[in-house]
Amino acid sequence: MTTETKTETRGFETEAKQLLHLMIHSLYSNKEIFLRELISNASDAADKLRFEALSKPELLSEDNPLEVRIEVDSENKTISISDNGIGMSRDEVITNLGTIAKSGTAQFLESLTGDQKKDSKLIGQFGVGFYSAFIVADEVEVLTRRAGTNADEATVWRSKGEAEYSIAPAEKAEVGTTITLHLKKDEAEFADQWRLRSIVKKYADHIAIPVLMEKQQAPGADDDAEEKDAATHEKEFEPVNDAKALWTRPRSDVKDEEYKEFYKYVSHDFEDPLQWSHNKVEGKLEYTSLLYIPARAPFDLWNRDAARGLKLYVQRVFIMDDAEQFLPLYLRFIKGVVDSNDISLNVSREILQKDPVVDSMRSALTKRALDMLEKLHKKDKAAYNKFWKQFGQVLKEGPGEDFANKDKIAGLLQFTTTASEGDEQDQSLADYVGRMQEGQKKIYYLTSESLKSARISPHLEIFRKKGIEVILMHDRIDEWLMSHLQEFDGKQFQDIARGELDLGDLEKEEEKEKKEESEKEFKALVERIKDQLKDRVKEVRLTHRLTDSPACLAIDDHDIGLQMRKIMEASGQALPETKPIFEINPDHPLVQRLDKEADEDRFADLVSVMFGQAELAEGGQLDDPGEFSAHLNKLLLQLTQ
């Protein structure tokens, strides 16, 4: 049977097809990245072979050192990228190059907008990998032989990047993979040694194995030598990079550009990182870490199964991607590399989970990551705000997850407050504390469904009148966050919709006296309202937190708030019913009118409408809309009579 007869044509998986199409059309302004992606894959393949050779040393040989070769054929307009790494079996070729194994791919495709500019950013976050070859090539051939298999067990894969690919058995003398790109007519510029060399240099400098290209004659060099080369067809190759793992180099040697490129390599991100931190630790534990804060959240930040964690090396040998044991979940957006001298080379994920060395490293790396955020927060507020927009909600998981670093994390939180100019969460707790009034002992906050409903909350009235700043929390996680934060900088937090209002020293003596007086004056009214609302409320009482509204709802000190209730109910927990406290404003004309209302029917109408309004002002729903409308309509009819 000839090879030809065994050629099989297969269709791409639908998702791969969609992604291919999209990528080719949205990434053309950033074409040269195909080289970065293919060199990265080649280098990963070398890493994987080195790893496999830990248990099968025969897979590596001294006279065949791991390397990547890039060759250009300017006549036929092809580029080939060869590695002598792990290679792929036929089945691996089918799964790796015919499908997209990433979790959340369908979800990602759904999130696309059709706007090319926006989509190209998204696709950058998604990571295009191997398929980026089709940005410049109209045909791609992959010839590959898995390490540990024979020369006649190789596979060749070909595709024009449209709907299908072909796959056939092949022969390959060496283990590894050669990818040949047949350049599109318009992309022939890439089939130029010098042009390619400069791109390779840019993307290969941080790669830990040599990336070789054909040695070039300097212009005007010895013509005889050229003739001799041509005669023997013996090509000479030389490394274009310095082939040293970037994190092993001293910090002072590494340029910012190199750090940025390396980030793109480890994270598959297209954008530059916001910040990085490169450290070598010596002493009881020895390791090097290079941590990055990305500028943009990956599309699957909220996907529980999404890959996260650092790339783990042990004594410079690649061990695994996405080692999630080195950082807590709330720092899952951090990317980077950790290279340890204390972990055993044959470590597995299960062993990592139990290794005390990993625990110590995890605490140190967590601290390192938080320090890096602190530094960004102090030095570059604009960049920090950018970070916050992308990852703030994740960091808010921190105080609940990491007791030891609670205070440190609290210092990194940002919120919108009544003093914010716009809607951004750009005020830190330290900013707030710095603006506290004389006599103010607490940090006041309010949680609400949205910023809009927070801003119009009646609970703010007294604070506005007295010019006291209030933090307006409106992220879903905020109430949960606040259940883990009791104080900041020695100042307690106070939810202004919870419990009785106590402004402490911010309240004047005469205000306190007035309060006592009205307590007496309206005692009977409070009782009457209680009789009216019965078990719809936990309590009815006077309040002094209102200036404009007649009434509002408060929650009892230890009751579960609305946001928290929603989160818990969504996670399937049954919660006991909690009832609000109905608070009325003795200074409001409606309340005073109510006090004088002798007609019980009319009294019931007014109370019902006031209660309904208070429910709505909380951003909540009416607990009995029918009852509310009936009473309101009765009042309206009286108006028209």
* Interaction site with ligand ADP (CB under 6 A): 37, 41-42, 45, 83, 85-88, 96-97, 127, 129-131, 177, 268
- Closest separation between CB of residue 93 and ligand ADP, Å? 8
Judged by beta carbon, residue 119 or residue 269, the one nearer ligand ADP is: 269
- Closest separation between CB of residue 4 and ligand ADP, Å? 25
The whole-angstrom separation of Cα 46 and Cα 254 is 23
Sign of the alpha-carbon torsion through 297, 303, 309, 312: negative
| Among the listed residues 66, 61, 47, 52, the one whose alpha carbon sits nearest the alpha carbon of residue 346 | 52
- Closest separation between CB of residue 197 and ligand ADP, Å? 20
Name the strands in the sheet holding 471-473, side by side, starting at the edge strand that comes first in the sequence: 427-428, 414-417, 471-473, 442-447, 491-495, 487-488
The whole-angstrom separation of Cα 517 and Cα 371 is 53
Q: Is 22 helix (H, G, I), strand (E, B) or coil?
A: helix
Do the beta carbons of residue 95 and residue 101 sit within 8 Å? yes
Where does 116-255 have alpha helices with state H? Answer: 116-126, 133-136, 193-204, 223-232
Do the beta carbons of residue 293 and residue 376 sit within 8 Å? yes
The whole-angstrom separation of Cα 487 and Cα 413 is 13
- Closest separation between CB of residue 252 and ligand ADP, Å? 31
Chain residue whose CB lies nearest ligand ADP: 129
Name the pairing type of β-strands 414-417 and 427-428.
antiparallel
Q: Is 211 helix (H, G, I), strand (E, B) or coil?
A: strand
Judged by beta carbon, residue 128 or residue 254, the one nearer ligand ADP is: 128
**Tokens for 627?**
């009852």
Judged by beta carbon, residue 177 or residue 427, the one nearer ligand ADP is: 177
Judged by beta carbon, residue 26 or residue 177, the one nearer ligand ADP is: 177
The whole-angstrom separation of Cα 266 and Cα 501 is 52
Judged by beta carbon, residue 158 or residue 268, the one nearer ligand ADP is: 268
Q: Is 103 helix (H, G, I), strand (E, B) or coil?
A: coil
Judged by beta carbon, residue 168 or residue 525, the one nearer ligand ADP is: 168
- Closest separation between CB of residue 406 and ligand ADP, Å? 36
- Closest separation between CB of residue 131 and ligand ADP, Å? 6
- Closest separation between CB of residue 425 and ligand ADP, Å? 33
Judged by beta carbon, residue 127 or residue 620, the one nearer ligand ADP is: 127
- Closest separation between CB of residue 318 and ligand ADP, Å? 13
Judged by beta carbon, residue 94 or residue 364, the one nearer ligand ADP is: 94
